[in-house]
Chain A
Amino acid sequence: MDFQIALLLGQDGLTNGAIYALLALALVLVFAVTRVIFIPQGEFVAYGALTLAALQAGKLPATLWMVVALGAVVVAVDGAIALRHGAMRRLPRMLALNLGIPLLLWALLAHVETAGLSLIAQIALTLCIVVPLGPMLYRLAYQPIAEAPVLILLIVSVAVHVVLIGLGLLFFGAEGTRTPAFSEGSLELGAVTLQYQTLWILAISALLILALYAFFGRTLYGKALRATALNRTGARLMGISTTMAGKLSFTLAALIGAFSGILISPITTLYYDSGFLIGLKGFVGAIIGGLVSYPLAAAGALLVGFLESYSSFWASAYKEVIVFTLIIPVLLWRSLTSHHSEEEE
């Protein structure tokens, strides 16, 4: 390997690592707040990319039907509960959020030639479709068993993942898609050629991470999420509802997932099931951070990105084997250094 190739691989590793880092942060967030190990995170990556591709092709993305359908189910479930308790005042907000917005989107998309819209508008529409799926999934799959053991929540996560994969195939078919780059061309920097898309990915990832940092450090809602992660009872006593925190963290995770998909779909072909492996690589990063530390998780994810990129050069066929086997020494290291208390879960 010469210097040129090393740089090229490093660039690849950094780009992928940045995406894995975003996903790792979302995974740590969701786990800390809800104790859910969010296996379906990767499906949001695929849904984001494929929804954008559908909009660019001028088609109505099938995820739109999904958000309408899920919204209807949420309204049915929550509406029934509200009626039983005679809490009618909850209805307007519930209807607007879960049915009103999706139906508005539908009306909008039915009348607009999406292929002709600007990229920013297309991305905004994609996020409007895909992101609400996050809190809706939380409401339907996780909230009823929010107090269940981590293990049960994990099995539910795997079930949700399987459902989303099946639906992904149904919605988008088996063919992969690529979306055009945010801006074409590349930047010559001495010996290195940087694709503009690479720069976009790095810049936006960095921005998102900074935004998250500000959200958790500066806003009261961000602090409320951290508080829930630190002490659920304490948070409830302050009026921070566990359900609100759960939905908010799932919204953020869905946003990060969908945005990651939008960022990388110009540089890799994404299929309905590609998200899973991408999400899991974020996971390996998150586990390096012990599922609690944000900086360690991000650093771990970058490490995964580099490892993947360099191993694809030396042993391309064994790329996945090497990346996922990395988890073994990581776990070994963590099990030797962490003192897990004998307390039951």
Chain B
Amino acid sequence: MMRRLLLPLFVIALALLPVVLPESAEFYVTLLNYLGLYALVALGLVLLTGVGGLTSFGQAAFVGVGAYATAWLTTAFGWSPWLTLLVAVATTTVVALFLGFITLRMGGHYLPLGTIAWGISLYFLFGNIEAFGGHTGLGGIPPVSLGGMELKSGREFYYLIWIALMLGVVATQNLLDSRDGRAIRALKGGVVMAEAMGVNTAWYKIVIFTIAAQFACVSGWLYAHLQRFVNPTPFSLTQGIEYLFMAVIGGVGHVWGALLGAGLITILKQWLQDLLPKLLGQSGNFEVIVFGLVMIFVLHRARDGLWPVIVRLVEKRLPMAVRANAVEAADALPRRERPAVGDTILDVQQVTKRFGGLTANNSVSFSVRAGEVMALIGPNGAGKSTMFNCVSGVNPPTEGEVRFLGQRVDGLASREIARRGMSRTFQHVRLLPTMSVLDNVAIGAHLRGSRHFVHASCRLDRDEERRLRAEAARQIERVGLAEHMFDAAGSLPLGKQRIVEIARALAADPCLLLLDEPAAGLRYLEKQSLAELLRKLRGEGMGILLVEHDMDFVMGLADRIVVMEFGEKLAEGLPRQIQEDPKVLQAYLGGVE
């Protein structure tokens, strides 16, 4: 119960601080103001780096955009700071969208490199534009007025900063706990899976980059009106690097890590700036040596930063009552129209897939009907998984046609194919190991919701979110994993993780299910219940395409079988025919003579 009180106590303490601190402690108010400004930037990096797996060294430049936009517009044209806030955020958005668009399509390291270059050039730009006062800077920025009151003192401004920061924290937490939040959390290590579940990952990367930039911009706007003066120095690349250090040292995967990191670095900097020059007998910014070493140490030894370490310590002292994990009842989500049993839903015609000079699939044709289990078997390297990737759009075919529900789908992105009602599992399980089973399965239902990050930040998505979670829970119960609903997906044995993948695929409400080795790693009884589940789905009219090595499982379940060897179709028929086919025996056992 003590844990519950920590947050309200923290907020009350924050609110009272400027009131109780004596005049002589003005320094601490200033320190806290800066801490809040830095934390807001670091918060954006938590979303971008910790959650999304991208990063930027150029956040200081976005801070500069916010600061210079308001400094220039308020001093040169007398605009209201509230109007310039809008202009600043809009400018930042445009710049971030542009930078994101050109760098995010390539490997993950192009964005940070691009931000380094952009951070440097913007810094020099600020220092060279005459309207911005060159390297001397711009002074005489008016204070912000709120309801007729001008926020002139540090103590008054404190509230504006910390309210902005707390709003940022709440909005970020809300966002992460939503449909878009799950998609964003999948960006780090789950791009292929997320795309196959219909998530436009490139778009979400741009979204979080833009949100992070906007946080930085607001911080800059606040900074300009707190200082009432701007010059280029605080927007240099060095500062941009320091922001990243704050986020990483504090705990880049955690919203509160941003505050912790900003606090630590800000205080450490004050202290080291006093201490080091005395110690070394020279003046200079030697604190960066310590920061850099701490950074290297953290990345070697505690890559998740200090916040998780603190949480573990607190949890030992103040064990929390078991969290009441529950899924609220909610209306079922609408289901898609289903084809009639017996209709051909998937028609693969002469599909060929080449990788450079290697032909992985050579002119393979087969079809799947609604309400049947079709098994694709063959020795290792026969091209079965390649065929799966061709059908599901993960890796489009070189030649040939794939028709799904009568429409050509070859060449479409996997998320487009998913949208049409095809859902799949992966041979190498692609779950997000630290997320709960429920959250993992809910990603499967991504396309069945429409509320996005703006709704989520303001909690306007709760009704739909309840329905999505209830749907995910239903599918988890259906596959028999109800007891693991709130466990981290990575903590399950591999066989059960494969079943979670099936639940996730089912959450998409597909009419064709592609299962890549679903029975691998299962025990006998688990295989039995999986077969039972698949029979039930078949009975409901689902088409199932299955790659599997366990022959007992396949022979007992499949309606029809296609055997592949060397990327070509070797045989097709009923299980009994296949088992007696000498060519198949030859393919499996081989032989040279």
Contact = CB atoms under 8 A, between A and B. Distances in A.
B53 A332 contact: no
Interface string A132-154: 00000000010011001111101
Q: Which of B54, B55, B287 has the most CB of A within 10 A?
A: B55
A323 B120 CA distance: 10
Contacts of B109: 37, 150-151, 154
A160 B103 contact: no
Given A152-B299, A331-B102, A280 B116 contact: yes
A324 B113 contact: no
A341 to B, nearest CB: 9
B190 to A, nearest CB: 7
A155 B55 contact: yes
Given A158-B57, A320-B124, A345-B108, A335 B103 contact: yes
A324 B112 contact: no
A201 to B, nearest CB: 25
B410 interface: no
A173 interface: yes
B286 A331 contact: no
B286 A165 contact: no
Interface in A275-321: 277, 280, 283-284, 287, 317-318, 320-321
A159 B292 contact: yes
A163 B299 contact: no
Contacts of A160: 292, 296
B435 interface: no
B289 interface: yes
Contacts of A328: 99, 102, 114, 117-118
A342 interface: yes
Task: Give the interface size bracket for B toward A.
Answer: 35 or more
B481 interface: no
A221 B458 CA distance: 59
B185 to A, nearest CB: 14
A217 interface: no
Q: Which of A166, A318, A323, A335 has the most CB of B within 10 A?
A: A166
A166 B190 contact: no
Majority secondary structure of chain A interface residues (helix, strand, loop or mixed):
helix
Given A287-B113, A344-B189, A151 B121 contact: no
A163 B106 CA distance: 29
Given A169-B284, A170-B282, A344 B190 contact: yes
B245 interface: yes
A240 interface: no
Given A151-B53, A156-B299, A342-B192, A331 B110 contact: yes
Given A163-B289, A343-B192, A327 B114 contact: yes
Interface in A165-209: 165-167, 169-170, 173-174
B288 A163 contact: yes
Nearest to B244: A155
A158 B121 contact: no
Contact of A318 (B57, B124, B303): B124
A342 B191 contact: yes
A334 interface: yes
B149 interface: no
A325 interface: yes
Q: Which of B280, B282, B284, B286 has the most CB of A within 10 A?
A: B284
A324 B120 contact: yes
A156 to B, nearest CB: 5
B11 interface: no
A324 B293 contact: no
B248 interface: yes
A227 B125 CA distance: 43
A196 B99 CA distance: 43
A321 B55 contact: no
A111 interface: no
B295 interface: yes
A166 B288 contact: yes
A318 B192 CA distance: 42
Interface string A70-108: 000000000000000000000000000000000000000
A340 interface: yes
A170 to B, nearest CB: 6
Interface string B44-63: 00000100011101000000
A311 B103 CA distance: 25
A169 B121 CA distance: 23
Contacts of B106: 331, 334-335, 338, 340
A336 B535 CA distance: 47
Given A162-B289, A327-B117, A344-B192, 15 more contacts: A151-B55, A151-B108, A154-B109, A156-B299, A158-B57, A160-B292, A165-B288, A280-B117, A287-B110, A323-B121, A324-B117, A325-B121, A328-B118, A342-B192, A342-B201
Lowest 6 CB-CB distances: which A-B pairs, in order? Answer: A163-B292, A166-B289, A159-B295, A324-B121, A162-B292, A327-B117
28 contacts: A37-B109, A145-B299, A145-B300, A149-B108, A150-B107, A151-B55, A155-B55, A156-B296, A158-B57, A162-B241, A162-B295, A163-B292, A166-B284, A166-B287, A166-B289, A167-B289, A169-B285, A170-B289, A287-B113, A320-B121, A324-B117, A325-B121, A328-B99, A328-B114, A334-B110, A335-B105, A340-B105, A343-B192
